[in-house]
Amino acid sequence: MSITYKDDAGIEGMRLACRLASEVLDYLTPLIQPGVTTLEIDRLAAVYMQEQGTVSATIGYQPSGYPPYPGHLCTSVNQVVCHGIPNEKPLKKGDILNVDVTVITPDGWYGDNSRMYMIGGEAACSVQARRLCQVTYEAMWKGIVMVRPGIRLGDIGHAIQTYAEGNGFTVVREFCGHGIGQKFHEEPQVLHYGRPGTLEELKPGMTFTIEPMINAGKRDIKEMGDGWTIVTKDRSLSAQWEHTVLVTPTGYEVLTLSAGSPTPPAFVTASATVPA
């Protein structure tokens, strides 16, 4: 599979898909409270997607060697690194939750993003949990602000790894960001660790996700018996944030921004995060 470079029509298709994906998270944000189950969050998201005219990319998704994924979302709680399947266990104060949403528009474009939620608010969560969520968010943006034509994917990975490890956390290496367009997963693979000046060169029209998974403990992971859920091997907390970005002729555009998106960190210039 080769990298796809989006033309003007493709960029508009991606802008719409990604904004709609972000709006699913905007809708869910006030509903994610102590006592709600991730299965209920999944149900609410499915209804909202139907209302906005999109469908979930994850429900029934079945890569080779995997069982069909049963949820409209991925809901990863505490030590779950990624691909947590929605279930009937109520969320409790102090939990941290990643909600990962990918939608498909009627025109066939995919929008992919995720956010972290601290259940019961920041005050209900441990200092470690709060710091992990914040550093992971900032690490994602450290990668995003590197994006421009001529740099290489290794530069993005290096920026993320350096920031996360510099703050005492570890980077999961078995999962990565990916190209996206009219397929859920395209080339290139976007590693969240690496060496500067290595891997593919960025060119205008590329669209891909940056979605670091950062652990409070060691980076080692294991797969649970359901064939999907990935957890930290040492049961330490894990966090993830995800945006889809476009490489523009002069830099980058974050496509998965909407009215309810969290504010970028202070080191990000506002002019670089919105469409020109």
Interior/surface letters 103-131, b for 16+ CB within 10 angstroms, e for the rest: bbbeeebbbbbbbbbbbbeeeebeeebeb
Question: C-alpha dihedral over 184, 107, 17, 270, to 10 degrees?
Answer: 110
What is the Cα Rg of the chain in Å? 17
Cis check for the bond before 188: say yes or no (omega within 30 of 0).
yes
Check residue 38 and report its DSSP letter: H
Q: Using pLDDT thresholds of 50, 70 and 90, give the confidence band for residue 273.
A: very low
Q: Using pLDDT thresholds of 50, 70 and 90, give the confidence band for residue 130.
A: very high
d(CA 75, CA 232): 15
User: Sheet holding 80-82: strands in order across?
Assistant: 80-82, 230-232, 221-223
d(CA 255, CA 262): 14
**Which pairing describes strands 213-215 and 238-240: parallel, antiparallel, or unpaired?**
antiparallel
The predicted structure's pLDDT at residue 271: 41
Residue 96 has φ and ψ, to the nearest 5°, of -115, 145
Contact 105, 56 (CB under 8 A): no
Q: Using pLDDT thresholds of 50, 70 and 90, give the confidence band for residue 276.
A: very low
Contact 252, 213 (CB under 8 A): no
How much is the mean pLDDT over the chain? Answer: 96
Q: Residue 241: how many CA atoms within 13 Å on its side-chain side?
A: 24
Q: Using pLDDT thresholds of 50, 70 and 90, give the confidence band for residue 166.
A: very high
Closest CA to 192 of 165, 232, 168: 165
In CATH, the number for domain 8-272 is: 3.90.230.10
Closest CA to 144 of 104, 198, 181, 190: 190
Domain locations along the chain: 8-272
Q: Using pLDDT thresholds of 50, 70 and 90, give the confidence band for residue 128.
A: very high
pLDDT at position 189 over 90: yes
Determine the residue type at 86: P
The predicted structure's pLDDT at residue 1: 60
Q: Which helix (H) or strand (E) holds 256?
A: none
- Three-state secondary structure readout of 41-63: HHHHHHHHHHHHCCEECCCCCCC
Kindly give, in sequence order, each residue whose CB lies less than 8 Å from that of residue 151, ignoring residues fewer than 6 positions away: 201, 202
Mean pLDDT of 204-208: 98
* pLDDT tens column, 51-107: 999 999 999 999 999 999 999 999 999 999 999 999 999 999 999 999 999 999 999
Kindly give, in sequence order, each residue whose CB lies less than 8 Å from that of residue 159, ignoring residues fewer than 6 positions away: 142, 143, 145, 146
Question: 15 by DSSP, 3-state: which?
Answer: helix
